[in-house]
Amino acid sequence: MSLLRTRRLCKSFGGLEAVAGVDLDIASGEVRALIGPNGAGKTTLVGLICGRIAPSAGTVSFDGSDITHLPSFRRMRRGMAYTFQITSIFPRLPVRENVALAARVHHAPDVVDEAVTSALSRIGLRGEADQIAGNLSYGHQRLLEIAMGLAQAPRLLILDEPTQGLSEGEVGGFNRLVRDLAGDMTILLIEHNMDVVMATADRVTVLTAGTVLAEGAPQAIRANAAVQAAYLGTG
Amino acid sequence: MTDTSRILALHLGLIAVLFALNFLLPAYHHGNLSRIMVLASYAIGYNILFGYTGLLSLGHALFFAAGMYGLALPMQHAGLGAVPAFVLGVFAGAIVSAGLALLALRTTGVAFMIVTLMFAQAGFLTILYFGDYTRGDEGFIIQQAQRVIAGIDLTDETNRYMFAWALFSFCLLVCLALIRLPLGRTLIAIRENEERVRMLGYDTGLHKLTAMVLSGTLSAAAGAAYALLFGYAGATFASVQYSIFPLLWVLLGGAGTVIGPFIGALFMFYLIDLSSGITSAYMLIAGVVLVLLTLFAPQGLTGEVRRRFWSGLP
Amino acid sequence: MEFGPHLLLAVLEGAVTAAVLSLTAAGLSLVFGVMRVVNIAHGEFFMLGAVLAWVLVQVFPGHPAVGFVVALIVAPLIVGSIAAVADLTILKRINYDPERTIVATIGLLYIIQQVTLMTYGPDARAVEAPFNQRLALPWVDWGEGGLQVYYPWGLSTTTYKIAVIGAAGALLCGIWAMMTRTRLGLVMRATQADREMAQAFGIPVERVYAMVFGLGAGLAALAAVLIVPIQQAHYLMGGDPLLLSFIVVIIGGLGSLPGTVLAAVFIGLSDGVISVFFSPTLAKIFATLLVGLVLVFRPQGLFGERPA
């Protein structure tokens, strides 16, 4: 059964259809990449899924129940986590507190510390736990953002362009992390970098002009002529 | 010493020093300090919303006045005893702050400031409008005979000081406890980045409502205590000026610090006290301090201490 | 007086309030529109205009019109300069941060008010109008023998009040023409639309800001000079115009000049009418509640367009 399902999901901004009737099914446990040219509606679609934007029409279901009208914070409590495209942390608070804020919602008080340490270790930031988050390097702030997502112990982790601005070495580390997480949770990855997509995704969905152009295994998508014309060919 | 024990030493030390000062201070300063402790309790309440949650209200006089009139009107017109009247005052503050929160929290930023300002002004005008009961600007005196709790006469200097000290200690410890609890941590996170807190799964609206009610209730407790201890209720305490004062004290002492509101209220009280010997235009001092603080020390006195010497100061 | 003439009188008084209010509020609206900051000291610039008018009239004795005309030109200039200096020394340094600007202008409010108290004193002082003919107004009524024209006792206005309404109308047209037809207006609108872009196109944004802040304060001062022969100059007179301007700007839609004028006429007239028939305190309670509720439920103003 699919963990996340959208049906005829639409969002228009003053006549412009940013998302026009998207049907999306993400199976439990898969790593799904969402790709598409700039302006294809990726960020809007993810906004609709996690409740930051209200849809004009259509439905979103999560784990079998309709969540179309739930506010974003309730969706997070049901087991979604969202990491922001533009780094959004608490820059004046310590790294540990950043992650603890995420952990407290989803863990009993006595295991919060454990969850924080585990999330930080997994991401490789354990040594920086007592630093002020704003003093971390850009790459480390991106990782902290993901650590906050992990501390939420999500069933669906949505990563919005997580490798943007990372160095090549850091991207390699990120790929290993995603494959490592894949067994524990379902991942929806919005990504520009095709190397990351090829290295991590089980399936790929291509979005253009607010609609799904193609969907399939990474190799098949790379070979798809329509996708190449719409997207890969331009890059 | 660990950070936690240093923090406890500082705050419990302040409470102990204030207790000791009861026996040491000359009459004039003794009376001043009673007043300052009540006003600082008001400022602590204000600081929970402004300093820790990041919501700048220009309408807290409404809560202070809700406490003041919630206590004074039933005492004056229904002959209610001091204890039930105090409870009523605090309760009135909780109700009024919850009501204003439900409306004002639909807005943010500048609109929130103006909305709180407007509703507080409407409250002030309402007190004037019902001048038959409130005696408007002139206000009314609460009879000495009524200002007694369990046989303790609150018009006595020492009793009054001790009541103010108890209220202040309570507010200080509530604030200290709050910011060490998950609730307080979440409020601070809302101040830093509200959208992120929401996307972690917190109901930020409910948290802000809680902060505003807590803030309003402490402010009302201070207002009720002020009327009870100094035996007077007047519309001035509901005017814009009394919404600006806690902002001024908190900014001066350091927003988002536990002892900042006390430091700010203490400094400002004596600054105005000293200048009133020279000029009747004492609000000039308030204006100059506000401008200088915004320009040069937005962190306030305690905030500067935190920045330079002790980053763990809560 | 009967109801009809009474209402006409209330409307006339309301029109004077509306005229002065639309000038004052236009100043506040201009500052908010271009600079995106709320100036809490706006009412004090109004007060300063009235007080300076009294001072200038004392400096130029003789026919009341001489001093008044001097005041009409010089008082707004002085007040505008003070505001521009305050902008450059305070607001510019805090980078026009909206919340810190409110705190700083609250400080400015007390400074201006208390310095006036220390120098000008606590008295209310009158300024003589340059001309002030009483105009009795006719009323039409059905009497015995048909339609009758008569002059009810107490139904009158003055030539000065009529002139105030005319002057305010002309000035508002002037502001409108300046904003839409001149290069200066273009520069201001460009800064309003996009500060960074304006800067990139070589517009000296900081100078525009100082000028707009000065202009806004100058308009409040001008309105005060016009009203001071009707009211009196007093150091606490800034509170009401501030509150009313707020109401007008918020109801008219923040930063929209036509909306502001429309709301000023609406509020001025209803304030006049309500104050004549009901308690002024009650009128103010309703007005403040109205502002609060409009901001909560219709933040774009009663007359503003809902953003797409």
Q: From chain B, pick out residues whose CB is under 8 angstroms from the CB of C108.
A: 287, 291
Q: What is C169-181 written as a DSSP string?
A: HHHHHHHHHHHHH
pLDDT average, residue stretch C179-208: 86
pLDDT average, residue stretch C65-91: 93
CB atoms within 10 A of CB B27: 8
The pLDDT tens digits of the residues spanning C259-277 come to 888 888 888 888 777 776 7
Contacts of B164 (CB under 8 A, 6+ apart): B33, B34, B35, B37, B38, B225, B229
So what's the pLDDT on residue C308?
A: 34
Closest residue to C285, CB basis, from B110, B125, B247: B125
Closest residue to B298, CB basis, from C100, C107, C292: C100
Q: From chain A, pick out residues whose CB is under 8 angstroms from the CB of B182.
A: 104, 109
So what's the pLDDT on residue C254?
A: 67
Give percent of chain C with pLDDT exceeding 90: 35
- List the chains bordering chain A where 3 or more Cβ pairs fall under 8 Å: B
Residues of chain A with pLDDT under 70: 231-235
CB–CB of B189 and A109 under 8 A? no
CB–CB of A89 and B182 under 8 A? no
Task: Count B/C contacts: CB-CB distance under 8 Å.
Answer: 113
Whether pTM exceeds 0.95: no
pLDDT average, residue stretch C159-178: 90
Residue of chain B with shortest Cα separation from C115: B284
Distance between first and last Cα of chain B: 16
Mean pLDDT, chain C, rounded, equals: 86
Q: Which amino acid, C125?
A: R
Q: From chain B, pick out residues whose CB is under 8 angstroms from the CB of A50.
A: 199
Where residue C248 falls among pLDDT bands split at 50, 70, 90?
Answer: confident
Instruction: Tell me which residue has tokens 């506010």.
Output: A71
pLDDT average, residue stretch C238-258: 82
- Give the closest-approach CA distance of A87 to chain B in angstroms: 10
Q: Which amino acid, A9?
A: L
The pLDDT tens digits of the residues spanning C99-158 come to 788 889 989 999 999 999 999 989 999 888 888 778 777 777 776 777 777 777 777 788
Closest residue to B189, CB basis, from A82, A101, A109: A101
Q: From chain B, pick out residues whose CB is under 8 angstroms from the CB of C301.
A: none
Q: Vertex A8, ends A4 and A10: CA angle to 5°?
A: 100
Closest C-alpha among A137, A130, A71 to residue A99:
A130
The pLDDT tens digits of the residues spanning A10-46 come to 998 887 888 888 999 999 989 999 988 888 888 899 9
Cβ within 8 Å of C, B 14-53 = none
CA dihedral B99, B102, B104, B106 (to 10 degrees): -170
Contacts of A74 (CB under 8 A, 6+ apart): A51, A67, B201
Closest C-alpha among C207, C229, C168, C228 to residue C26:
C168
Torsion-angle region of residue C222: left (phi > 0), alpha (psi -120 to 50) or beta? alpha
The pLDDT tens digits of the residues spanning A194-212 come to 889 888 999 999 888 888 8
Residues of chain B with pLDDT under 70: 1
So what's the pLDDT on residue B91?
A: 97
Closest residue to B290, CB basis, from C38, C107, C296: C107
- List the chains bordering chain B where 3 or more Cβ pairs fall under 8 Å: A, C
| Helix, strand, or coil (residue C207) | helix
H/E/C letters for each residue in chain B?
A: CCHHHHHHHHHHHHHHHHHHHHHHCCHHHHHHHHHHHHHHHHHHHHHHHHHHCCCCCCCCHHHHHHHHHHHHHHHHHHCCCHHHHHHHHHHHHHHHHHHHHHHHCCCCHHHHHHHHHHHHHHHHHHHHHCHHHHCCCCCEECCHHHCEECCEECCCHHHHHHHHHHHHHHHHHHHHHHHHCHHHHHHHHHHHHHHHHHHCCCCHHHHHHHHHHHHHHHHHHHHHHHHHHHCEECHHHHCHHHHHHHHHHHHHHCCCCCCHHHHHHHHHHHHHHHHCCCCCCCHHHHHHHHHHHHHHCCCHHHHHHHHHCCCCCC
So what's the pLDDT on residue B100?
A: 96
B3 touches chain A (CB under 8 A): no
CB–CB of B118 and C291 under 8 A? yes
H/E/C letters for each residue in chain A?
A: CEEEEEEEEEEEECCEEEEEEEEEEEECCCEEEEECCCCCCHHHHHHHHHCCCCCCEEEEEECCEECCCCCHHHHHHCCEEEECCCCCCCCCCEHHHHHHHHHHHHCCHHHHHHHHHHHHHHHCCHHHCCCEHHHCCHHHHHHHHHHHHHHCCCCEEEEECCCCCCCHHHHHHHHHHHHHHCCCCEEEEECCCHHHHHHHCCEEEEEECCEEEEEECHHHHHHCHHHHHHCHHHC
Closest residue to C288, CB basis, from B106, B118, B289: B118
B125 touches chain C (CB under 8 A): yes
B304 touches chain A (CB under 8 A): no
Q: Which amino acid, B278?
A: I
B14 touches chain A (CB under 8 A): no
CB–CB of B188 and A148 under 8 A? no
The pLDDT tens digits of the residues spanning C8-40 come to 888 888 889 899 999 999 999 999 888 888 899
Q: Is pLDDT at C288 greater than 80 in this prediction? A: yes
Q: From chain B, pick out residues whose CB is under 8 angstroms from the CB of A88.
A: 193, 195-196, 199
So what's the pLDDT on residue A235?
A: 41
* Number of residues written out for chain B: 314
- Give the closest-approach CA distance of C228 to chain B in angstroms: 24
Q: From chain A, pick out residues whose CB is under 8 angstroms from the CB of B196.
A: 84, 88-90
CB–CB of B196 and A88 under 8 A? yes
What is the interface pTM, i.e. ipTM, of the complex?
0.89
Where residue C301 falls among pLDDT bands split at 50, 70, 90?
Answer: low
CB atoms within 10 A of CB C278: 11
Output phi, psi for B313, to 5 deg: -65, 125
- Give the closest-approach CA distance of B195 to chain A in angstroms: 9
CB–CB of B201 and A106 under 8 A? yes
Q: From chain A, pick out residues whose CB is under 8 angstroms from the CB of B51.
A: none
Q: From chain B, pick out residues whose CB is under 8 angstroms from the CB of A152.
A: 200-201
So what's the pLDDT on residue C44?
A: 96
Q: Is the dihedral of CA A203, A208, A211, A213 positive or negative?
A: negative
